[in-house]
Amino acid sequence: MPFTCEVCGRRSVFPDLIPAVGNVLRCAHCAHERPFVRPPLLVVSGTVGIGKSTLCARLAGTIPGVLLLDADILAVDLASVAPPNQDYPAFWRSMMRLAHELSQNNVVVVYFSTMLPEQALANTDILGYFDSVHFLCLTCPSDVLWARLAGRDGSGAASARVNVWRDFNTALLAAASETPKATVVDASRTRDEVEKDVRHWINTHVRGSDSLRRDATA
């Protein structure tokens, strides 16, 4: 367990973490240092209806060394985002801890979620568990978004919700322009084109990282 020191056996008390110092976890009690897998963390964001779930399903299992997860399925059950306590940074703290645990299996985690980069980046202490955190923001014009929501949920439901998701789309675009490690992808193109771009983005960050463990006998 990463949160228990294997030498002195003491634990860091939630929500504190065993701090990452470079590429080691250093026990706050006895200063024992342990190496850990420190890969990049990738997050694909975009408003509801933009095609994240489809993309996640299409890409899952097709990129070696990469674990894709729809984070929003977890948000449904977590108290941290259940009204009236919609604490999205706390949700992302949990998601980042989970990604750290999963990463120890020598994989790069890619989350798909309707989120804003600041919700993850607010957890500054846990950022050290990752080589870097990158965001891919799927955006599209509001008329395209409306058509997609109407196609999926019917025009009545789409009309009721499109303003919320259009506003989110606008906020995400603004956030992307202020976030250094954010890439904007136009999701109004065909699914094949968007999938190709997202796959390329993932591959670039996985190949560009030398943080995964290599098999010494290979």
* Contact track, Zn ion, 131-160, x by CB under 5 A: ------------------------------
Distance CA 40, CA 27 (A): 23
Distance CA 22, CA 154 (A): 51
Q: How far is the CB of 121 from Zn ion (least distance, A)?
A: 29
Whether residue 189 contacts residue 148, with contact meaning beta carbons closer than 8 Å, is answered with no
Closest to Zn ion by CB, 89 vs 128, is 128
5 binds Zn ion per the rule CB under 5 A:
yes
Radius of gyration of the chain, Cα coordinates, nearest whole angstrom: 19
29 binds Zn ion per the rule CB under 5 A:
yes
Distance CA 69, CA 115 (A): 14
Whether residue 127 contacts residue 92, with contact meaning beta carbons closer than 8 Å, is answered with no
Q: How far is the CB of 36 from Zn ion (least distance, A)?
A: 15
DSSP 70-93: ETHHHHTT-GGGSTT---HHHHHH
Binding segment (CB under 5 A) for Zn ion, from list 8-16, 53-61, 100-108, 158-166: 8-16
Give the SS3 label for residue 26: strand
Q: How far is the CB of 23 from Zn ion (least distance, A)?
A: 18
26 binds Zn ion per the rule CB under 5 A:
no
Binding segment (CB under 5 A) for Zn ion, from list 7-15, 124-132, 142-150, 174-182: 7-15
Closest to Zn ion by CB, 6 vs 186, is 6
Whether residue 163 contacts residue 147, with contact meaning beta carbons closer than 8 Å, is answered with no
Q: Which of 20, 27, 37, 68 binds Zn ion (CB under 5 A)?
A: 27
Residue type, 187: A
Query: What does the block give as tokens for 36?
Result: 């850990």
Whether residue 55 contacts residue 62, with contact meaning beta carbons closer than 8 Å, is answered with no
Q: Which of 21, 30, 57, 73 binds Zn ion (CB under 5 A)?
A: 30
Q: Which of 32, 58, 166, 181 binds Zn ion (CB under 5 A)?
A: 32
Q: How far is the CB of 188 from Zn ion (least distance, A)?
A: 52
Closest to Zn ion by CB, 33 vs 70, is 33
Q: How far is the CB of 102 from Zn ion (least distance, A)?
A: 24
Q: Which of 8, 21, 57, 174 binds Zn ion (CB under 5 A)?
A: 8
Closest to Zn ion by CB, 21 vs 30, is 30
Whether residue 176 contacts residue 182, with contact meaning beta carbons closer than 8 Å, is answered with yes
